[in-house]
Amino acid sequence: MTDVRDLGPRQCGDLGSIAASLLAEGTSGQVEATTSSAIFIRMHSDAYQPGIVALVGTDQPRGPVTVRLPHWPLARTLLSAGERVRVVDGGLILDSNQRVTLPTKRWVAKPVRELRSNRMRVVQRLETIVDHEPAFSITVGRSGAALTGKDVTAAVRAGLPAAVSLLAGRGSGLTPAGDDVVTGIVLATSLLWSAGEPTWSPDHLRALARGYSSHDISKALVAAAANGQGCEFLHDLIDACSAGDEPACLEARERLARWGESSGLDAAYGVMVGLREAETVASD
């Protein structure tokens, strides 16, 4: 049996809290898809649906469903679409009896400071610093005009279900822009609830995520956002804006701009809309 644990100590990697639950001892799963930067595995577990975890290198951002491996280059050669895996003694055992050791360190998104009282400060800073318009690759209305930020805002003001109906699965890429924006809106709403804002509860957001109509990788990210967890750079940006830490704002924005083709900034755009329209969302 080939064991890749010697290519990097386990403490150098980490795994998100949802990934850790899905990768409990004795669970099994199957590789759904692979890209140059991630391996997506569907675990057969009732802990979180749709049960997707993403194996990546340590150069990628931490996230709730992410497993960052110090031995990523070799792990990537061992796992291909359709490969079955099972979790035994802290490692993924493959059909070929090869083993990919999992890290033990868990990552949980840090709380955002004073979000409820600083909500509009965060919105104003995001409106300046994000400086990004998602490419939805769809049109709306009889005129065939391209979907704009005004259309997104109007949909959110009509209620979260209306926004989801408009945006789910819209755009190109592994996680379409519409899905990334919805992830940001849901994350903003969940964080506000945690901060004491009377808005959609996590239970209602999780119900929304369960009915989300897109592929399961996007659905997993929306479900994580419903639990108040997103990419670490996104949490860093929101927290820095709330604290008024300008250098940290700029650093987080720069890191988000490098995450995916446009996923980081699309999600940040969604957070901005979700926070700005929080009162409308709360009354929905």
Model confidence pLDDT, tens digit, residues 168-221? 988 877 889 999 999 999 999 999 999 999 899 989 999 999 999 998 999 999
pTM listed for this prediction: 0.92
Other C-beta atoms closer than 10 Å to the C-beta of 50 total 17
Q: What is the spatial distance between Cα 228 and Cα 188, in angstroms, rounded to a whole number?
A: 8
Residue 267 contacts residue 187 (beta carbons within 8 Å): yes
Averaged pLDDT of the chain: 90
- DSSP character for 30? E
Helix (H, G, I), strand (E, B) or coil at 276: helix
Letter string b/e over residues 92-128, b meaning 16 or more CB atoms within 10 A of that residue's CB: bbbeeebbbbbbeeebebeebeebeebbebbbebbee
Confidence at residue 143, expressed as pLDDT on a 0 to 100 scale: 52
The total number of residues written for the chain in this structure: 284
Structural tokens at position 181: 């924006």
Q: Are β-strands 14-16 and 28-34 bridged in parallel, bridged antiparallel, or unpaired?
A: unpaired
Residue 54, pLDDT > 80, answer yes
Q: Residue 57: in which H helix or E strand, if any?
A: strand 52-57
